[in-house]
Amino acid sequence: MMKTRIINFLIVLVLLAACTPLPVAGTPAPPTATAEPTITAGPSPTPLPVRPEFLPGVLVEYIAQTGDTLPALARRFNTTIGEIRAANPVIPDSATTMPPGFPMHIPIYYRSFWGSPFKILPDSLFVNGPLAVEFDTAAFVAEYPGWLNGYVEYAAGQNRSGAGIIDYVATNFSVSPRVLLALVEYQAGGLRQPALNPDQAEFPLGHNSFLHRGLYLQLVWAANRLNNGYGGWRSGDLLDLALADRSLERPDPWQNAATVAFQYYFSDLPVNQYRFATGPDGIARTIGDLYGDVWALDEPHLPGSLEQPYFSLPFATGELWAFTGGPHAAWGEGAPLAALDFAPPDDAAGCSTSGEWATAIADGLVVRTDTGLVVQDLDGDGDERTGWVVFYLHLAAFERVPLGAQLKQGDPVGHPSCEGGTSTGAHVHLARKYNGEWLPADYAVPFMLEGWLPTTGDQPYAGTLTRFSAQVEACTCSDERTWITAGPLPVEP
């Protein structure tokens, strides 16, 4: 029976793949010194569906979207995984991500205060993934007469152009530069307005925090907040938006993660501004003006039945380290909770550089290094926006592997330290991406290391790792509850 279900599910995958359109490349207007680029208008909006008050448990139609999983769908539709499986018996027990375009029936239990079904942007154009590879931020900005073209700010240790800041933030947070450019245009006229309004000089995106003065730190805040919304919807943990008038809105269960990211981002605005920003005439119109019909460009970046390759623990076989951080942010703060932390058993406490080595968890090419970090590309194309990518943070510059190094699983990568980001003790921070998307550690495609499965705790950095009957608990105390030894996966008892 199980074999038949898997075969049927694979047949659906093949049929859906055969119907997936190829991405259509946009044609930018030629640079000109006096005229703005030609704007390619998007298609006329189709009427939005009207959501009735569904009777409890009624089956509703749903077309799977990229990255959908049964746990997240169950939370969004206020139902259970078991009820979804009963209504869709073709789904095998081993299913991870749903195949985009897969037709489903989902039992729904209505909750009030649903938000708009209007969709702003496909997920594939939100992440800094495959569809961002051919996008040249500097060339795009150079086509426009706005203040961003010519803007320079000291950011992250060096002077950077406006386009350079966009790309730097996009790379670190893995949010598409198209998204960040659209925000700068929508909120501060960066592409078409000759000068930044004087009252926006310190806070061009309107986030009036003295910790985030200037375009660079405003974009850092914006990318982090967008990722919080995107990752929260993807995991099924973000189900409510608290609006500025203290009212509650629940994103439409049929929504996609990129749209909820924008809804979450703008939810602090006065409610009338929030409605406008997330409606057809808000950020979506700016996106359409800049890039044309983004839905015609969409090519789902997370396939159905995604599986992670085998990953080892990030230290040598036989060594005992401490599991010091359960699922938490890969970069920045909050969702997606994609990272795990491990600390070596050095006697020295605090931020002294460890003499121990963090090791590669898979074979791959080092495609980016920066303060404290190493990024490893596993598919061999040299681009961290495609395929599986491993992210190592808090590695000391001393003896760290160089850019371009070809690593084998178990090879030394660097010494745990406090370099890069914020840290109170020497450790290695580990996260993964697939096609530009940070994947939560506790996900339908779990961040499994030598058979150890992570579970999210009641707050970021809390949680456990479990393998068969063994379990370790995350704690910076590094006591015996946290100890874990690297070695071959044992035979299940």
pLDDT digits (tens, 9 = 90+) for 335-353: 999 999 999 997 556 789 9
Say which residue, 44 or 33, is predicted with more confidence. 44
CA atoms within 13 Å, Cβ hemisphere of 269? 17
Tokens representing 401 are 């592997």
Map out the domains of the chain as residue ranges.
Answer: 58-108, 123-296, 319-486
Rounded to an integer, the average pLDDT of 205-220 is 95
Tokens representing 477 are 């105390």
In angstroms, the CA 203 to CA 207 distance is 6
Tokens representing 298 are 């969409």
pLDDT digits (tens, 9 = 90+) for 107-150: 999 888 889 999 999 999 999 999 999 999 999 999 999 999 99
Tokens representing 34 are 């006096």
pLDDT at 403: 98
Share of the chain above pLDDT 70, in %: 89
β-sheet bridge partners, residue 429: 341, 393
At what angle are helices 162-173 and 177-188 packed, to 10 degrees?
A: 130
Rounded to an integer, the average pLDDT of 318-342 is 98
pLDDT at 49: 78
β-sheet bridge partners, residue 320: 485
The answer to whether 402 touches 335, Cβ cutoff 8 Å, is no
Closest CA relative to residue 483, chosen from 323, 348, 354, 346 = 323
Domain 58-108, second-level architecture: Roll (3.10)
Sorting pLDDT into bands at 50, 70 and 90, what band is 79? very high
3-class SS of residue 377: strand
The answer to whether 219 touches 166, Cβ cutoff 8 Å, is yes
Pairing relation of β-strands 406-407 and 364-370? antiparallel
The answer to whether 428 touches 421, Cβ cutoff 8 Å, is no
Is the predicted pLDDT of residue 165 greater than 80, yes or no? yes
Letter for the amino acid at 214? G
3-class SS of residue 284: helix
Q: Exposure of 86 by Cβ count < 10 A (0-12 exposed, 13-18 middle, 19+ buried)?
A: exposed
In angstroms, the CA 438 to CA 434 distance is 7
pLDDT at 491: 55
3-class SS of residue 399: coil
Sorting pLDDT into bands at 50, 70 and 90, what band is 233? very high
Range in 7-11, 92-96, 312-316, 359-363 the model is least confident about: 7-11
The answer to whether 445 touches 96, Cβ cutoff 8 Å, is yes
Sorting pLDDT into bands at 50, 70 and 90, what band is 26? very low
Per the prediction, the chain carries an average pLDDT of: 91
Tokens representing 353 are 């550089």
pLDDT digits (tens, 9 = 90+) for 450-473: 999 999 999 999 999 999 999 999
H helices present in 52-176, as ranges: 70-76, 81-87, 137-142, 162-173
Give helix then strand counts, H and E, for the chain. Answer: 11, 20
pLDDT at 490: 63
In angstroms, the CA 483 to CA 493 distance is 21
Residue with tokens 């000291």: 154
Q: DSSP secondary-structure letter at 48?
A: P
Domain 319-486, second-level architecture: Distorted Sandwich (2.70)
pLDDT at 406: 98
In angstroms, the CA 67 to CA 257 distance is 9
